[in-house]
Structure 1
Amino acid sequence: MADPVVRAGAVEVLRALRLGDAALYARTLDAPDTGVRQQTVRALISVDALPELVRAGADPSREVRAYASRVSTT
């Protein structure tokens, strides 16, 4: 899927239906689109994928890093 809106939507649907796991979501942490990476962080939070969330905490995007930091406050 090349369209970032479709990719972000796919990650969101997988998260909402509880069909994904940390390994699946981690594959989208390197997506070029910030929105996809933000949805990935939401999905990683839902499966308590702490190592992957630590990796997201070093993302070049401030928005993604901020989203990943939310896990440490919950």
Structure 2
Amino acid sequence: MIVATKKVDRWFFLYGFGKNERNNISDKELEIFQEMAVDLLKLNDRQVDLALSSGEFVEVINETKENHQ
């Protein structure tokens, strides 16, 4: 799994794959993901909200037992 974060409450999931599908990403892919991370982490709250409301981003919510008690 490849994520970009610099804040406790904001993580961007960039890419995921099963280890049975491939061993790793290429150097070129790493470069692209690093560039994406820089751009994503520059977004302010309003920009993220707009991307979510337009469907460009999808919010993933981690539901655990603690959230249901």
TM-score by length of 2: 0.29
User: If each structure's helix is expressed as a fraction of its own residues, which one has the higher value?
Assistant: 1
* Structure with higher RCO (Cα < 8 A, 6+ apart): 1
* Higher Cα radius of gyration: 2
TM-score by length of 1: 0.27
User: If each structure's strand is expressed as a fraction of its own residues, which one has the higher value?
Assistant: 2
